[in-house]
Amino acid sequence: MHRFIVFLFIGFFCTIHSSYSQKIYTHQDSLRGGLSINRTCFDVTYYNLSLKVDITNKFIQGSNDIFFNVVSNTSQIQLDLFSNLIIDSVFSGKTKLAYKREGNAFFVFFPTELIKNESHVVTVFYEGNPIIAKKAPWDGGWVFTQDSLKRPWVGVACEGIGASLWWPMKDHLSDEPDSMRIHYTVPSTLTAVGNGTLESTISNTPNKGPQTITYNWKVNYPINSYNVTCNIAHYAHIHDTHIQINKDSLAIDYYILDYNKQKAINHFKQVHPMLTCYEKYFGPYPFFKDGYAMVETPYWGMEHQGAVAYGNDYSNKIIDFDYIIIHESAHEWWGNNVSVKDHAEMWIHESFTTYAENLLVEYIYGYDMSIRYLNLNKPLIKNESPIVGPLNVNYEGWEDSDMYYKGAWILHTFRSVLKNDSLWFSILKGMQKDLALKTVQTSDVIAYINNATHSDYTWFFNQYLYNAKPPILEYYTEKHKKNIRVYYKWNNTQVDFRMMIPLNLTSKEVRYITPSLGIQYIDIKNKEYSKDFFNLNYNYYLLTNSKNNK
């Protein structure tokens, strides 16, 4: 998901400090974001979610079969479902299980101890009126609205707030099922689109009420909980194929409001060069069996795996590409294929995805244009909180634009520090291959980069990810007869921060310095010095402070 915030960047020389959001975290935050023994004792392998949607009454009723392996002996497990939804019953086979609700979590009790390595299934039956989104996708929940012809149009987006606002499951990003099935029952005049591939549809003639139809979807890969989606409307279906770089034919499906079909056929032509670009930098589309799909939604967009939510009104906002298409689709690699274990580290989703936008610009228009694109976003950086937030409390730091724009700049800065594009691009593609379909932490990403480069860049990522303010390069000059002496030092950096900085000499000679917290100097011939001596806007994210100007 993308957070688009207009921000005026002022005050280069403000007080330096690092701080997280001042939110006070509660026991409920820990239940949702933490990994207690009641969660780590089992590993989910498969979900089988069935849901009937009553659009008129904004009411849902369904069940979820939760298949899991026992990791350690236990007699109880924690599952999650928002307290406004009613749990009818919980079963293990034909045995009805006791449970206890605790806010948005509930604990299921087994009559006998579950033993390590055993496999079990728990089925939760539930119903109720789910939370209605105040402003999807940012303030999430269900969206019950109408299309321009006054017909029902329904969707759901729940990143941050949590998938347990509408279905019972283990609502923690560290545990993805290996696969799942989703069954949506809706009025027969409508189409229900879920994730993955459509296996079948079943027409139902109930004893009471109108005829309904059940859409049966299968997800063939691991999927994080907030990516599971439900879309209901008068959809038209467009099928297409994309020939990947490896020559495989990737299935593409678009589900759009029926009166937008021709508009969509023309607008979505841009999907092919976009996919080719991402395949070049990140490798083949990661969910080949499920195919790539976009679904028109009544909200801006969301990276729902294999069913990308699209609601940008068929508009190209930047360059010649639709911003929502290129951002949310890049999440298929960064966020859906390589996923985080904890919301505090969502930069891995959003920073790499925002950087992917920049790579698309570079792929189509060249490096210089991509730098211009990066600089357009620089004024949106806030520098108010570290990009990595507190763990185990369901930290919703994705609301901060810095994990998008500043995160993209951090990656571009590291590319500049590495000074080896071949190695850099091999790292991006390698992460997608070696960390595919896994949940990771920041430490995993840093370790991967260190291993690939045969160097330790922990100092770089610790500085940029765990400090709110960027490095400040302070300098001043003294004029001498034949040269100019430039004094320089870092401010607001850790002791081990050792990033080399290029000098912008008029002779175009490539020279670097390595500032530290102590003052150093370098002598530059008068004819080689210019006012743009430290012009780092194109390749590095840092601030400069010239004491000569004070």
**Could you tell me which CATH class the domain 131-159+176-275+283-315 is placed in?**
alpha beta
Furthest-apart CA atoms within the chain: distance in Å: 98
Q: How far apart are CA 386 and CA 279, in angstroms?
A: 31
CA geometry: angle at 179 spanning 173 and 181, to 5°?
Answer: 110
Q: Which two tokens stand for residue 113?
A: 């101890």
Q: What is the pLDDT averaged over residues 191-195?
A: 98
* pLDDT at residue number 9: 26
Residue 399 is which amino acid?
Answer: E
Residue count of the chain, please give it.
550
- Which run of H or E residues covers position 253? strand 249-257
| In the predicted structure, residue 107 carries a pLDDT above the cut 50 | yes
Mean pLDDT of 278-301: 98
**Rounded to an integer, what distance in angstroms lies between the CA atom of residue 151 and that of residue 496?**
61
In this predicted structure, the answer to whether residue 94 has a pLDDT above a threshold of 80 is: yes
Where in 444-482 does DSSP place strands (E)?
472-479
pLDDT at 23: 75
What CA–CA distance (Å, rounded) separates 144 from 152?
7
**Alpha carbon of residue 317 to chain centroid:** 21
* pLDDT value, residue 8: 26
pLDDT, the chain, mean: 93
Task: Please state which of the ranges 165-179, 401-415, 518-532 shows the lowest mean pLDDT.
Answer: 518-532
| CA proximity to 158, closest of 197, 218, 216, 104 | 104
Confidence of residue 157 (pLDDT cuts 50, 70, 90): very high
CATH number, span 36-47+59-125+166-173: 2.60.40.1730
- Element at 65 (helix H, strand E): strand 59-70
Question: What are the structure tokens assigned to 484, written together?
Answer: 């100019």
DSSP character at residue 93: T
Domain 338-465: CATH superfamily, name plus number: Neutral Protease Domain 2 (1.10.390.10)
Query: In angstroms, rounded to a whole number, what is the distance separating the alpha carbons of residues 53 and 127?
Result: 10
Band of pLDDT at residue 244, cut at 50, 70 and 90: very high
Q: How far apart are CA 492 and CA 224, in angstroms?
A: 37
With cut-offs at 50, 70 and 90, classify the pLDDT of residue 13.
very low
